[in-house]
Amino acid sequence: MALRRRRTMTAALLAATVAAALASGCTTAGNRLDDGRGDVPDSTDSGSPESVAPRAPSPLAVKIDNVPAARPQTGLDAADIVYAEQVEGGLSRLMAVYATKLPKAVGPVRSARESDLELLRQFNEPTLAFSGAQGKLMPLIDRAPLRAVSPEDDERAYYRGSDKPLPHNLYLRAERLLKSVPGADALTTGFRYGAAPAGGKAESTRTVRFPAARFTFDWAQDRQRWLVSMDGSPTVTTDGKRVAASTVVVQYVNVRKSSFRDFLGNNTPYTNTVGSGTAKVLRDGKVFDAGWKRPAAEDGTEFTTTDGSPLNFAEGQVWVVFAKA
């Protein structure tokens, strides 16, 4: 797996570096070994620290099962962003991203898809928690700029619950993958938060349909949130909390066939999140017509109003539902 291979490569590099240093009998005065990361300047180095741009922290992304047998889910209400994507048979699966809070448990955890790799490129080497993937997809996951951790990589971070049948009972202990909460700086998505733009139309409910799944968002004035329902049932967590979003984005994208199929022969859809298109943004009991743009996979996604002005989201959890354009 990718994590084990990276550790092995790091250990080998450290051993080689140490051997070279011992062979020479000395080290350069301005350098030292540091945890296998190679030479780093000490406090006497003449280089300017301002010349090195700080790296953004890394969030945790978890693939979450979303068939009826997997509900209610655990830890979904603590996510900063929830992405909803189409998978085989027209069903849906979720990608929950955690940066400002880490719940004790998240799940049920399920397998990754090819589209996830493109979606996650906008984050700085995120940790991806997933139950596994097709054998042909694993090499792509191994090469992706992320830290992929399945139960095979770190079995202590996962456990099987007794509340649901296999395979819908795999859960993640988030604190065993991240030592601390990454913080809001890890959300390098391009999303902007602030006051609502002018205009918009009053909206009390919005439903987005996949071939075999649907999402409904109902505005709750007393909570100033959009209450989430899936397949006609209110979305609640295992501890009884109603999942509610501050902002809902219906992002219209190209959904095409990928080169992968499941064990039943169903084609795996590929959700293309790079490019540009239209969107509907729900906040404050209104819907706003919007455009979206993501020039490259490394870029975040910018949302604008119809006149081209940046479109702010409301503070709080954001749901992004990828609808077929």
- Predicted local confidence at residue 262, as pLDDT: 64
- Predicted local confidence at residue 263, as pLDDT: 62
The band of 56, judged by pLDDT with boundaries at 50, 70 and 90, is confident
Residues above pLDDT 90, as percent of the chain: 76
Asked whether the beta carbons of 186 and 120 are under 8 A apart, the reply is no
Residues 6 or more apart whose CB falls under 8 angstroms from that of 297 comprise 118, 121, 122, 274
Separation CA 143–CA 82 (nearest Å): 24
Separation CA 270–CA 285 (nearest Å): 31
Span 1-22, mean pLDDT? 41
Span 198-209, mean pLDDT? 97
Identify the sign of the CA torsion 141, 143, 147, 151.
positive
Asked whether the beta carbons of 303 and 249 are under 8 A apart, the reply is yes
* Domain boundaries of the chain, sorted by first residue: 60-324
| pLDDT at residue 47 greater than cutoff 60 | no
CATH superfamily of 60-324: YerB-like (3.50.90.10)
Lowest mean pLDDT among 32-36, 122-126, 234-238, 272-276: 32-36
Span 258-278, mean pLDDT? 82
Residue type, 277: G
| Model confidence pLDDT, tens digit, residues 136-191 | 899 999 999 999 999 999 999 999 999 999 999 999 999 999 989 999 999 999 99
| Model confidence pLDDT, tens digit, residues 82-124 | 999 999 999 999 999 999 999 999 999 999 999 999 999 999 9
The band of 55, judged by pLDDT with boundaries at 50, 70 and 90, is confident
| pLDDT at residue 48 greater than cutoff 90 | no
Residues above pLDDT 70, as percent of the chain: 81
Separation CA 102–CA 105 (nearest Å): 8
- Predicted local confidence at residue 24, as pLDDT: 38
| pLDDT at residue 38 greater than cutoff 50 | no
Lowest mean pLDDT among 41-55, 78-92, 209-223, 238-252: 41-55
Separation CA 149–CA 204 (nearest Å): 40
Separation CA 146–CA 125 (nearest Å): 4
Separation CA 25–CA 221 (nearest Å): 72
Query: Between residues 39 and 5, which one has the greater pLDDT?
Result: 5
| pLDDT at residue 209 greater than cutoff 90 | yes
| pLDDT at residue 27 greater than cutoff 90 | no
For the whole prediction, is pTM greater than 0.75? Answer: yes
